[in-house]
Amino acid sequence: MSIGRLLLVPNALDLGAEAAVDIQQVLALGVLQCAAGLGHWLAEDARSARAFLKRVHAVVPLRQSLQTIDIRELPRPPKGAGAVLPDDRVWCELLAPARDGQDIGLISEAGLPAVADPGATVVAAAHGLGITVLPLPGASSLLLALAASGLNGQSFAFVGYLPQDAVSRGVRLKELQALSRRIGQTQLLIETPYRNATLLKALLDTLGDETRLSVSCGLSLPSGWTRTDRIATWRQRPLQMPDRVPAVFAFLVD
């Protein structure tokens, strides 16, 4: 029996939006057709995976009923000192359908699986088990934000979340600003939506006047926007950040 594959299925970017976008406007028909044919899924949250499949079904009928599709949740990332990582047996069990010859879909809450997403661990496990990993094309909010920013797209780094402690966050921002100044590299950051305003304030309080800051919010939504200005201009014309819609922050010292 041939071994199955782990398919990285992109999701829409409308997480937290008041109204969902038409999924046909953001995902290719081939991706929807592929998703409609899968009977096994791995997801961060089974409920959101089912919601995604309902959206797919409205365009391409699912090959089997939603109730019979096997959706398994990924282990929660361990927290705290001494937290135990899942062992190989966990990954072998989650990837068992592929080892039995059936394809498995991996879905994120938004955008591309395994990019700023816990799915990266199961992708690594699939490689370790000799399972083919196939990414399907879809939008990444990080790359869309970088493209819209006008900042350096030849050299950039995604640095994820900053420390929540204000002092530690300020220290980290100064480190990243110094790095950006030294090598001309764009720094990309994200934050939980309800902390969007806190992160923007920290950026404006910490970064130098001439540093260019770009903020992209609600990408792929009709109301989505990107603004890029010097920090000095941001301070003169601040804006109110939404607390439910994801945003991507990027800055460059040039």
Q: Estimate the crossing angle of helix 29-36 against helix 46-57, to 10 degrees.
A: 120
93, 159: one domain: no
Q: Tens digits of per-residue pLDDT, 178-220?
A: 999 999 999 999 999 999 999 999 999 999 999 999 999 999 8
Q: Tens digits of per-residue pLDDT, 38-68?
A: 999 999 999 999 999 999 999 999 999 999 9
How many other CB atoms are there within 10 angstroms of residue 57's CB atom?
A: 15
The answer to whether 146 and 250 are in contact (CB under 8 A) is: yes
Task: Answer whether residue 18 shows pLDDT above 90.
Answer: no
73, 185: one domain: no
Straight-line distance from the first to the last Cα atom of the chain, in angstroms, rounded to the nearest whole number: 56
169, 67: one domain: no
Q: How many domains does the chain have?
A: 2
Task: Answer whether residue 81 shows pLDDT above 60.
Answer: no
What pTM, to 2 d.p., does this model score?
0.88
Distance CA 108, CA 19 (A): 19
Among residues 100, 135, 170, which one ends one of the domains? 135
Q: For residue 111, count CB atoms less than 10 angstroms from its CB and return exposed for 0-12, middle for 13-18, buried for 19 or more.
A: buried
9, 43: one domain: yes
204, 179: one domain: yes
Among residues 82, 110, 135, which one ends one of the domains? 135
Q: Tens digits of per-residue pLDDT, 212-242?
A: 999 999 998 888 999 999 999 999 998 999 9
Supply φ then ψ for residue 120, to 5 degrees.
-60, -30
175, 67: one domain: no
The answer to whether 147 and 216 are in contact (CB under 8 A) is: no
CATH number at residue 242: 3.30.950.10
76, 160: one domain: no
168, 190: one domain: yes
Among residues 88, 119, 135, which one ends one of the domains? 135
Range 148-168 average pLDDT: 96
DSSP 64: S
77, 146: one domain: no
Look at residue 33 in the predicted model and tell me its pLDDT. 97
126, 173: one domain: no
The answer to whether 115 and 10 are in contact (CB under 8 A) is: no
CATH number at residue 84: 3.40.1010.10
187, 221: one domain: yes
85, 170: one domain: no
Up-side HSE of residue 153: CA atoms within 13 Å toward CB?
A: 9
**Residue-range definition of the domain harbouring residue 57:** 5-135
